[in-house]
């Protein structure tokens, strides 16, 4: 391989190198030196020198060509366009990138004016900078639109430099960079920033740990927090506490699974106000699918919700009376049916139709009619409990939904009250006094229908019958209920009158010591002496008095009368007797029986030890722990306590042990068939045994025969009462009987 020679080596060195090469040739010239040989030697040296120079030149040429190729590669394929432009704006040279940018061949560009490719509107910009370049010689950098051959304009950044041409004149080196993409990005970012800032929705961006990184202006306006206050915090500061943890857990599960969640949420502003938001949260992931950010966008939907609520209200209410309409009645009815069937409760649907309403409309006009309907709505609403629903179905038709009734006849009580209330005179704002009435049809759940349609149909049918029978009254869907209800309502008003007119009396049924046969006391039993109907037994009126609460008043009167009578007998020298008084469940549960009894004992002076209170099993079982307390307090007063009708209710040994009782009364139903019925014999004997084990006295009720008495005596029963000795009799007869027995 030939040694690469340096073209720049000096001639002395060149000769030295040539000599060295000649010296290694086979014929040594030095040995035969003559002029001729010297000349040949000299020529050989020159030849070698020339060869070496030629070799160097050829090598230099190669290098030059290589660097030209390299230069053109760099020049042509540079990522930016290069142009050389004459001082007359003619394009002298251009690289391939520039031709590609302008969409033309190099040939089509050379010798063409550069301004031919600049958008007409931007040419002034070009000339201005060219002028400045010429004047100052300083590089000019500016942006303007170029136009491709296909007519499409695009953004270019030009960098122009002044340089000297080979002829000594001036020319421009121009760098041309396509900045369309950057411009588009800039525009996009500017628009996005404007959108972000001017959006009406609050926007917050958090990192993957939910630390807030950015919020927009709407965020600060909606939440009341400044940007500085929330940066670095988590969205937890916005929590209202209205949603439970399960809500947030479900939300994050959805974001993690789908990358997105949207829903309504209640959040709290800085001032503490809680408001509804429509919130969407998106997870932002990088190319490795890792969450890098969360973006939350929300709007305050208070107004929207209010509007929806308002629309919902309008859709479910009657605009004239503001009462719920048919649609809402249906919804409530469905809900009530569901609840009542689950909890085994009783409900009633009452359909009302105003009587003679048309007359008011015809006589006084529609405005007066409307006013009357509004007054009716108010009167109905005032008469009902909060849980009941009053609705206007249209025209003069109303409906009532009564929930959680304790008795089918409660609906009749309400209906009767409404019939009465609506039949009272009405005063209109025009000064007129009008009278209308109302007819009512009642259907009961579950007796008269299992669904809303059936209940409505049957209440309608009942209403039809009520109107048919002369208006101003009510009818149940089943006739027997109507009759029973009417009887009961009549009884109630009669009973109220009986109290006022002192038609109630107390009778005394003797209680006897089985072993001695002596009368040791009496049970006080109520009798109602009705002027027309004669004596009404307590079984007919006590339940009505219980349901209407009248029993409170009656029961207190009984206690007072019995104590007064007992004290009278004591003062008259009659040996002490135990007087037993029935205490109703209502008396036991409502009011303060302990205080009122203490006052009665105090007022009458009757010794508490001679008073026995009879309670039923059901009265004790309803509020067991409270019952124990009340019994303890009654015991403290000194009165005796007996459990009535034992065996018919819960008959639990546990409560017999818990309650402080003195006496147990075996229910008449177990006495009736002894000694014939073996089962009853065994039950009666067992009750006596249990009572004695618990140290309670036992009294058998309803003893009618000697056989019964003998059986009870044989099994150790302590006392009895019953027709065998005497029914309940007046106080006078009782004393006569007592004297007879002693």
Binding site for ligand C2E (CB under 6 A): 509, 525-526, 537-539, 542, 555, 558, 582, 584, 614, 644-645, 668, 701-704, 721-723, 727-728
Q: Give whichever of 118 and 562 is closer to ligand C2E, judged by the CB atom.
A: 562
Contact criterion met (CB below 8 Å) for 495 and 541: yes
CB of 645 to ligand C2E, least distance (A): 6
One DSSP character per residue, 572-638 reads TTPPP-EEEEE--HHHHHSS-HHHHHHHHHHHH---GGGEEEEEEHHHHHHTHHHHHHHHHHHHHHT
Q: Which is nearer to ligand C2E, 703 or 731 (CB)?
A: 703
> CA angle 388-391-395, nearest 5°?
155
* CB-nearer residue toward ligand C2E: 371 or 561: 561
Which pair of tokens denotes residue 85?
């432009």
Is residue 501 within 8 Å of 726, Cβ to Cβ? no
Per-position DSSP letters for 442-506, written without gaps between them:
EEEETTT-SSHHHHHHHHHHHHHHHHHTTSSSEEESSHHHHHHHHHHHHHHHHHHHHHHTT-EEE
Secondary structure of residue 108 in the 3-state scheme: helix
CA distance 656 to 660: 8
CB of 525 to ligand C2E, least distance (A): 4
CA distance 369 to 377: 12
Query: What are 11-14's contacts with CB under 8 Å, separation 24+?
Result: 14/49, 14/52, 14/53
Nearest approach, Cβ of residue 520 and ligand C2E (Å): 16
Residue with smaller CB distance to ligand C2E, 396 or 617: 617
Please answer whether residues 602 and 572 qualify as being in contact, where contact means their C-beta atoms are separated by less than 8 angstroms: no
Cis bond upstream, residue 462 (ω within 30) = no
For ligand C2E, which is the closer residue by CB, 178 or 523?
523
State which residue, 333 or 550, has the beta carbon closest to ligand C2E.
Answer: 550
Both tokens of 57, joined, read 């030149």
Alpha-carbon distance of 153 to 119, in angstroms, equals: 7
At closest approach, how far in Å is the CB of 674 from ligand C2E? 13
| Residues ≥6 apart with Cβ < 8 Å to 271 | 224
CB atoms within 10 A of CB 498: 21
Residue 523 CB, nearest distance to ligand C2E (Å)?
Answer: 6
Cα end-to-end distance, the chain, whole Å: 163
Shortest CB 513 distance to ligand C2E, Å: 16
Q: How far is the CB of 537 from ligand C2E (least distance, A)?
A: 5
**Token pair belonging to 679:** 């089962």
- Number of other residues whose CB lies within 10 A of the CB of residue 464: 15
Q: Shortest approach of ligand C2E to residue 473 CB, angstroms?
A: 31
Q: What angle do CA 131, 149, 189 make, to 5 degrees?
A: 75
State which residue, 537 or 605, has the beta carbon closest to ligand C2E: 537
Minimum distance of ligand C2E from residue 727's CB (angstroms): 6
CB atoms within 10 A of CB 708: 23
DSSP bridge partners of 352: 398, 440
Q: What number of other Cβ atoms are within 10 A of residue 185's Cβ? A: 11
* Cα separation, 475 vs 461, whole angstroms: 9
CB of 561 to ligand C2E, least distance (A): 9
**Cis before 372? omega within 30:** no
Closer residue to ligand C2E in complex, CB, 410/614: 614
Residue 446 or 538: which CB sits closer to ligand C2E?
Answer: 538
State which residue, 539 or 740, has the beta carbon closest to ligand C2E: 539
Contact 658/643 with Cβ under 8 angstroms? Answer: no
Which CB, 281 or 494, lies closer to ligand C2E? 494
Query: In angstroms, what is the minimal distance from the CB of 726 to ligand C2E?
Result: 9
CA gyration radius, the chain: 57
Closer Cβ to ligand C2E, 236 or 539, answer by number: 539
Task: Provide, rounded to whole angstroms, the least separation between the CB of residue 605 and ligand C2E.
Answer: 21
Which has the closest alpha carbon to 114: 126, 131, 129?
126
**Which CB atom, from 482 or from 584, has the smaller least distance to ligand C2E?**
584
Extract the runs of DSSP E, i.e. beta strands, from 303-421: 346-355, 389-394, 397-405
Identity of the residue, 99 or 721, whose beta carbon is nearer to ligand C2E in the bound complex: 721
Neighbours of 26 (CB within 10 A): 4
CB of 518 to ligand C2E, least distance (A): 18
Give, for 709, the enclosing helix (H) or strand (E): helix 706-714
- Min separation Cβ 604 and ligand C2E, Å: 16
């Amino acid at each position: 391989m030939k040694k690469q020679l340096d073209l720049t080596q000096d001639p002395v060195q060149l000769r030295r190198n040539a000599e060295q090469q000649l010296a290694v040739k086979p014929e040594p010239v030095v040995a035969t030196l003559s002029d001729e040989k010297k000349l040949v030697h000299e020529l050989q040296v020159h030849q070698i020198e020339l060869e070496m120079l030629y070799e160097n030149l050829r090598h230099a040429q190669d290098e030059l060509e290589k660097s030209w190729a390299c230069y053109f590669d760099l020049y042509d394929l540079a990522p930016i366009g290069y142009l050389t432009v004459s001082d007359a704006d003619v394009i002298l040279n251009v690289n391939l990138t520039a031709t590609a940018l302008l969409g033309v061949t190099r040939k089509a560009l050379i010798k063409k004016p550069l301004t031919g490719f600049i958008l007409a509107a931007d040419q002034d910009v070009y000339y201005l900078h060219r002028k400045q370049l010429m004047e100052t010689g300083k590089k000019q950098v500016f942006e303007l639109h170029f136009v491709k051959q296909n007519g499409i304009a695009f953004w270019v950044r030009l960098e122009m430099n002044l340089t000297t041409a080979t002829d000594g004149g001036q020319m421009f080196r121009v760098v041309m960079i396509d900045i369309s993409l950057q411009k588009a990005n800039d525009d996009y970012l500017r628009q996005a920033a404007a959108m972000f800032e001017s959006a009406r929705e609050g926007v917050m961006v958090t990192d993957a740990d939910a630390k807030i990184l950015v919020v927009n202006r709407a965020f600060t306006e909606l939440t009341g927090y400044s940007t500085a206050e929330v940066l670095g915090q988590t969205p937890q500061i916005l929590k209202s506490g209205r949603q439970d943890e399960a809500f947030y857990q479900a939300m994050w599960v959805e974001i993690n699974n789908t990358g997105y969640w949207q829903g309504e949420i209640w959040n709290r502003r800085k001032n503490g106000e809680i408001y509804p938001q429509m919130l969407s949260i998106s997870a932002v992931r990088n190319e490795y699918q890792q969450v890098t950010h969360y973006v939350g966008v929300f709007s305050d939907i208070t107004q929207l919700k209010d509007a929806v609520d308002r629309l919902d209200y309008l859709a479910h209410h009657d605009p004239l009376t503001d009462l719920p309409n048919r649609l809402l009645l249906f919804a409530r009815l469905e809900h009530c049916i569901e609840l009542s069937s689950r909890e085994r409760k009783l409900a009633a649907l009452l359909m009302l139709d105003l009587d003679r309403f048309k007359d008011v409309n015809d006589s006084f006009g529609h405005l007066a009619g409307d006013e009357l309907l509004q007054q009716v709505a108010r009167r109905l609403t005032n008469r009902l409990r909060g849980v009941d629903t009053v609705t206007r179905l249209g025209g003069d038709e109303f409906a009532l939904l009564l929930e959680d009734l304790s008795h089918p006849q409660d609906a009749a009580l309400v209906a009767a009250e409404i019939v009465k209330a609506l039949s009272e005179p009405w005063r209109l704002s025009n000064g007129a006094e009008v009278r209308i009435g109302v007819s009512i049809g009642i259907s009961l759940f579950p007796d008269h229908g299992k669904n809303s349609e059936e209940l409505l149909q049957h209440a309608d049918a009942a209403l039809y019958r009520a109107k048919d029978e002369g208006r101003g009254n009510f009818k149940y869907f089943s006739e027997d209920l109507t009759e029973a209800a009417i009887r009961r309502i009549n009884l109630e008003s009669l009973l109220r009158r009986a109290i006022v007119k002192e038609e109630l009396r107390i009778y005394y049924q003797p209680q006897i010591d089985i072993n001695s046969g002596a009368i040791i006391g009496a049970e006080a039993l109520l009798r109602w002496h009705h002027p027309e109907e004669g004596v009404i037994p307590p079984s007919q009126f006590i339940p009505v008095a219980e349901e209407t609460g009248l029993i409170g008043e009656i029961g207190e009167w009984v206690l007072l009368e019995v104590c007064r009578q007992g004290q009278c007998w004591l003062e008259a020298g009659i040996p002490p007797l135990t007087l037993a008084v029935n205490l109703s469940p209502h008396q036991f549960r409502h009011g303060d029986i302990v205080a009122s009894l203490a006052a009665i004992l105090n007022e009458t002076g009757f010794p508490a030890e001679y008073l026995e209170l009879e309670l039923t099993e059901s009265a004790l079982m309803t509020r067991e722990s409270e019952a124990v307390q009340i019994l303890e307090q009654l015991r403290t007063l000194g009165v005796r306590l007996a459990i009535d009708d034992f065996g018919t209710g819960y008959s639990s040994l546990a409560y017999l042990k818990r309650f402080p009782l003195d006496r147990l009364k075996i229910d008449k139903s177990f006495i009736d068939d002894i000694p014939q019925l073996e089962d009853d014999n065994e039950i009666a004997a067992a009750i006596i045994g249990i009572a004695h084990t618990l140290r309670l006295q036992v009294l058998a009720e309803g003893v009618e025969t000697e056989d019964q008495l003998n059986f009870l005596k044989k099994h150790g029963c302590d006392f009895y009462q019953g027709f065998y000795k005497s029914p309940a009799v007046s106080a006078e007869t009782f004393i006569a009987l007592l004297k007879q027995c002693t």
